Copies of this chain bind each other. A is one copy, B any other.
Amino acid sequence: MKIGRTLIAGLIVAGIATTAAVGDSHVDKATLAAIKARKAQMTLYNFNAGLLFGMAKGDIEYNAEAASAAAANLAAQAAMNQSRLWPAGSDTEALGIEVTRAKAAAWQSDSKAGEYGKALGMATVTMASAAGEGLEALRGAIGPIGKACTACHEDYRVPFN
């Protein structure tokens, strides 16, 4: 991972420099609103998935009703039309890492982001059926959710360090 870390460190420096030069006031308001909204989308993914992962790991006591509600929310969130959350040019290379950590590669023609999104959608539908059927059923459905999240973050999100 040494090369990766060096590249990312360079990207962070470049990102900060871009932010300093561009400044939020010069970024289109609509773009900033979309970035804020997609961060909100991620916060809600994390809030609902976090409960399910916590139960799967045994950190949170299993509760069928709470698990079902979180899974239904997660599936509803994943099924939403998210096209307005990802306008062209709303990437870290254009706006700086202080504004967004979404790599421009996510918008390229060979991007797998859409594929990962579909995988997440399917995984959440499975989870929505499984979550209320007991801890083992929940555990059996959790893997593909984590896999889809991780795949997209590893490929298209600049890490914090």
Contacts and interface: CB of A to CB of B under 8 A. Distances in A.
A43 B51 contact: no
A17 B66 CA distance: 35
Contact of A47 (B43, B44, B70, B84): B84
A37 B47 contact: yes
Please give the count of copies of this chain that the complex contains.
2
Q: In the complex, which range does the number of interface residues on chain A fall in? A: 20 to 34
A55 interface: no
Given A33-B47, A37-B43, A73 B80 contact: yes
A93 to B, nearest CB: 24
User: Shortest 7 CB-CB distances between A and B: which pairs?
Assistant: A40-B40, A40-B43, A37-B47, A69-B81, A73-B80, A76-B76, A40-B44
